[in-house]
Amino acid sequence: MNIDVGTVVRWNNFPLPKYGEEKKPRWFICIGFTGIFAQVAEVYFCTTTAQIDKFNSGGIREKRDHYIFQTNHPKYSMFDENCIIDFEEKPYVVTKNKLNYHQNDIEIRGELDEQTLRMIYNCILKSNRRLSLMEKRDIHDSYNKFGITGLKKPK
């Protein structure tokens, strides 16, 4: 499967649910790959949620750093409905083998623009996500390889 940094995918019947056993479609944004010395090739994916009410005033996630992708904006028309990326949620890490195995369930829906990708990177870097330094460096290196340079290097 050929994806790159910024690729937006809809993964039908996603096999790794976080909560419960229900397999449902999930929307993901590719934010990077493990380095060349990794024992297993993996992809870093941020997920989105359509549960916008949780981020509104009084919602259980109202204080979390997030960004809303509004489908009425031409840059985000690849999404089926308005959705949010929660910068406090740790990205999914999926092996390339699992990605290839499930490729019939994965629809490539579009690519995010450089400005949006820079914003996502900067929010990931400053967030309270439980990312290791190596994971942050993998993401930084992936952005550089994709041609998005000049980003602050994780330390």
Give mean pLDDT, residues 143-155: 95
pTM for the model stands at 0.92
What the block records as the tokens of 128 is 């309270």
Per-residue model confidence (pLDDT) at position 130: 77
Per-residue model confidence (pLDDT) at position 155: 85
Q: What share of residues in the chain are helix, strand, coil (percent, to 5)? A: 30, 25, 45
Which pLDDT band, with edges at 50, 70 and 90, does 19 fall under?
Answer: low
CB 45 within 8 A of CB 72: no
